A and B are shown apart, each in its own frame.
Chain A
Amino acid sequence: MVEALLQGTATVFHPTILIGIFIGTVFGIVIGIIPAIGAMVACSLFLPFVYRMPPDLALSFLVAITSVTVTGGSITSILLGIPGTVPNAATIIDGFPMAQKGEGGRAIGAAVASSMFGGIISVFFALGMIPVIRPIVLTFRAPEMSMVILMGLSFLAIIAAGSPIKGMISGLWGLLLALIGFQGLTGAYRFTFGSMFLSDGIDLIAVALGLFALAEMFDMIVSGKTTIAKRETKVRMRHVLQGVKDVYVHKWLWLRSSLIGYIIGVIPGIGGDVAMFIAYGHAKHTSKNSDKFGAGCVEGVIGPESADNACVAGDLLTTMVFGIPGGPVMAILLGGFLLVGVIPGPVMVKENLPLVFTLLIGIAVANAIAGIICILVAPQLIRVASIHIDYLFVVVPVVVFVGAFVTESDVLNLIVAILFGLLGFLMKKFDYSRAAFVLGFVLGELFEFYLSRSLKIFGLTFFLSPACLTMIVIIIGVFSYPWFKKIVSRKFLKGSKKV
């Protein structure tokens, strides 16, 4: 194992591989910045070009792209309120208000640094987990998956700022809309009204683009704002580095969020979108400044951004160990593996372990390169927040509509985007949580699927497996921890007063 690790590391730092990773990283950042494109489209685009390359180079290139698209996406999320990729929607909640307050540099510094360090530390988690990942992943059947998603859903109440009832309405509404389309369990088409466009449900990307980006445009026009940033600030590197320092100050949050992201990445079938929202919910839940969340709190950026890049290492490890993709991006990467003649699975781990290490360490290197590039260019990019609304009102809807079209190759997706833009504007105006809506939307169908499946296969006692019971205890523990802490500190204070 140690020999394979050394060999894998040496391969990563070979000049050709390093150049491949560098180019992949740059592409990944650029693609992440362009909304709705994402790693899936990027990888499928490059597949025909890479499959004649040597496996090490081809796969390192593709893995580099996959690892850093969310980092690039955080830039558009923070500066323009447009989610560069769907997982970045969680970053908008606090990142965009920070940009509006003139703290865009700090927000980008925090986002990029937490992504970078999150991506790097997750590689260490993955390396440590290689011998034990198989039995852990195989534990996750439908009942365990439904518990994990339940844990995600329980963050609905935390994510929603302000009125809990409004938060629940938002979350449940998202859950309901997620049920539109084909239900695999029964073969029924729900709420499609005969439309083939709706048979696969509503596109999440169009929802996120409309709910956040278009809604913000409506808001800016209606309120008469002329720029995103409320006040013009000359952004310097020190503002960006302040954000990097914030990650150090909140290092335990960064570590916990990275772990959350990594674990969710390991579990097949859940995905980065969920990880970011759970990490956001966790950040808010454990923060001393939870009332500031939603109005531009840096912890609200650190949490989700640490999780998103940490997801990739977990996802890739599961894909390599099992030969089964954890999500759509890994499905394309799996295609890349096959095209270059590498068959992922137990045989790969047994006979090609150095390649496994090369790819995992490649993730760390790609994240480091992406972090440095983004930090260096951040002061220039922040100027976007000072662009006048006259130009912004053209660019943002155009980018949103192009992005919405590209994902589904259907003009009807533009209608979806604008309808959700209207909904997002009204939700913002009437203080309903868009974040809770998106979390409900992302988790809704999954929860129904796994819960129904658990009931059908295992019956009403499906939650009695050791793994399920452990997760129930964790959920109760996580949610009762702040109250427990309050009670203990109150008792401690009373005790010390008596003395």
Chain B
Amino acid sequence: MKIRSSSIFLIFVLLLMLFTAGVSLSFHYFEALLAPLLLSIAIFILAAIELRKELVSEDKTTQGVANTIPMGRVQDRTALRRFGMALGWMGGLILGIYILGFFLSILLFAFTYVKLRGRDWLRATIFAVSLTLILYLIFEMGLRSQLFRGLLFGA
């Protein structure tokens, strides 16, 4: 029986609901634990039904019932690689914001990403500087909202 990624997602949901149900039972007040407990149980049951449906329908496919054409292994790997890269860039941006603050990390992120995607130096620089400047004008000057300065330059 081949487990699809959607089934893995459901297994994650099941485990999460077990966890939340367990944590709910530790709340001191009955009124506090009732709703989360009931919801966790309800979601657990629904997720279990859906998982069973998926696994059973998967079995039927392997028994020769014509269905959709499965995605090729190469396409799977490409999608995973792209997803990993996107997550990496966003994670890197967050880390940069935490250490360097918003403006410097946005400037670096914008320039580096656009440049590595094959754009020329001028375009990448103009784009990065313009974006940072616009955000500075709107938030710092316009809205008087101080954006996070980062561990290195801020509080």
A residues adjacent to B (C-beta < 8 A)? 34, 37, 41, 45, 163, 165-166, 168-169, 172-173, 175-176, 179, 183, 185-186, 188, 190-191, 214, 217-218, 221-224, 390-391, 393-395, 397-398, 401-402, 405-406, 411, 414-415, 418, 421-422, 425-426, 429-430, 448, 452
| Docked-complex contact A222 and B82, CB < 8 angstroms | yes
Told that A188-B29, A191-B23, A394-B114 touch, could you supply 17 new A-B pairs with CB distance under 8 A? A37-B143, A165-B53, A166-B50, A169-B50, A172-B42, A176-B20, A176-B40, A186-B31, A190-B24, A393-B86, A393-B113, A397-B93, A401-B97, A406-B139, A406-B147, A429-B5, A448-B35
| Contact present for B90 and A397 (CB under 8 Å) | yes
Asked if B46 contacts A169 (CB within 8 A), the reply is yes
Residues B27 and A222 in contact, CB atoms below 8 Å apart: no
Min distance, Cβ B32 to any Cβ of chain A, angstroms:
4
A172 touches B43 (CB 8 A): yes
Q: Are A398 and B131 in contact (CB-based, < 8 A)? A: yes
Question: Separation in Å of the B95 CB from the closest CB of chain A?
Answer: 10
Which A residues are in CB contact (< 8 Å) with B32? 183, 185-186, 188, 190
B56 CB to closest chain A CB (Å) equals: 14
Residues of B within 8 A of A397 (CB): 89-90, 93
Residues of B within 8 A of A421 (CB): 90
Question: With A and B bound together, what is the CA distance between A173 and B16 in angstroms?
Answer: 11
A456: nearest residue on chain B (CB-CB)? Answer: B31
19 contacts between A and B (CB under 8 A): A41-B143, A165-B49, A169-B47, A176-B36, A176-B40, A183-B31, A188-B32, A191-B20, A191-B36, A214-B90, A218-B87, A398-B110, A398-B131, A398-B135, A405-B97, A405-B147, A411-B97, A418-B91, A425-B83
In B110-155, the 8 Å CB interface with A consists of 110, 113-114, 117-119, 127, 131, 135, 138-139, 143-145, 147-148
B39 and A175 contacting across the interface, CB-CB below 8 Å: yes
Alpha-carbon separation in the docked complex, A429 to B9 (Å):
11
The residue among B20, B35, B113, B117 with the most chain A CB atoms within 10 A of its own CB is B35
CB atoms of B102 and A402 under 8 A apart: yes
Q: Which residues of A contact B119 (CB under 8 A)?
A: 390
Q: Are B143 and A45 in contact (CB under 8 A)?
A: yes
A221 near B31 with CB under 8 A, answer no
User: Using Cβ atoms and an 8 Å threshold, which residues of chain A touch B49?
Assistant: 165
* Tally of contact residues, B, Cβ under 8 A: 55
B79 at the interface (CB under 8 A from A): yes
| B154 → A minimal CB distance (Å) | 10
Is there an interface contact between B20 and A224, defined as CB atoms closer than 8 Å? no
Contact A398 B83, beta carbon cutoff 8 Å: no
Which residues of chain B are near A163, meaning CB under 8 Å? 50
B78 to chain A, nearest CB (A): 8
| Given A405-B147, A421-B90, CB of A176 within 8 Å of CB of B43 | yes
Decide: A165 and B83 in contact? CB cutoff 8 A: no
Contact A173 B144 (CB under 8 A): no
Chain A residues with Cβ under 8 A from B113's Cβ? Answer: 390, 393-394
| A395 touching B50 in the complex, CB below 8 Å, given contacts A172-B42, A222-B83, A418-B91 | no
| Cα-based distance from A196 to B21 in the complex (angstroms) | 22
Contact (A430, B9) CB under 8 Å given A169-B50, A222-B83, A402-B102: yes
Closest to B127 in A: A391
Question: Which residues in B have their C-beta under 8 angstroms from that of A425?
Answer: 83
Interface residue B13 (Cβ < 8 Å from any Cβ of A): yes
Please name all residues of chain A whose beta carbon is closer than 8 Å to the beta carbon of B42 when the two chains form the complex.
Answer: 172
The answer to whether B47 touches A224, judged by C-beta atoms less than 8 angstroms apart, is no
* Interface pair A172/B97, CB less than 8 Å apart: no
A185 with B31: in contact, given A393-B113, A418-B94 (CB under 8 Å)? yes
Q: Which residue of A lies closest to B114 (CB)?
A: A390
Q: Give chain B nearest CB distance to A139 CB in angstroms.
A: 26
Task: Report B-chain residues with C-beta under 8 Å of the C-beta of A414.
Answer: 94, 97
Nearest chain-B residue to A220 (Cβ)? B86
A402 touches B135 (CB 8 A): yes
User: What distance in Å separates the Cβ of A364 from its nearest Cβ neighbour in chain B?
Assistant: 28
Chain A residue with minimal CB distance to B111? A394
Chain B residue numbers with a CB within 8 Å of A415 are 94
> Which chain B residue lies CB-closest to A426?
B9
Q: How far is the CA of A430 from the CA of B29 in the complex (A)?
A: 36
Residue in chain B with minimal CB distance to A31: B143
Q: How far is the CB of A92 from chain B (nearest CB, A)?
A: 20
Whether A188 and B46, one on each chain, are in contact in the complex, defined by CB atoms closer than 8 angstroms, is: no
Contact (Cβ within 8 A) B139 A165? no
Tell me whether B144 and A45 are in contact (CB under 8 A): yes
Q: Which residues of A contact B28 (CB under 8 A)?
A: 186, 188
* Nearest chain B residue, comparing its CB with the CB of A403: B139
The distance from the CB of A11 to the nearest CB of chain B, in whole angstroms, is 30
Q: Contact between A217 and B86 (Cβ–Cβ < 8 Å)?
A: yes
Report A-chain residues with C-beta under 8 Å of the C-beta of B46.
165, 168-169, 172
Contacts of B93 in A (CB 8 A): 397-398, 401
Give me the 6 closest cross-chain CB pairs, A-B, nearest first: A188-B32, A186-B29, A221-B86, A390-B117, A430-B6, A176-B39
Q: Which residue of B lies closest to A440 (CB)?
A: B39
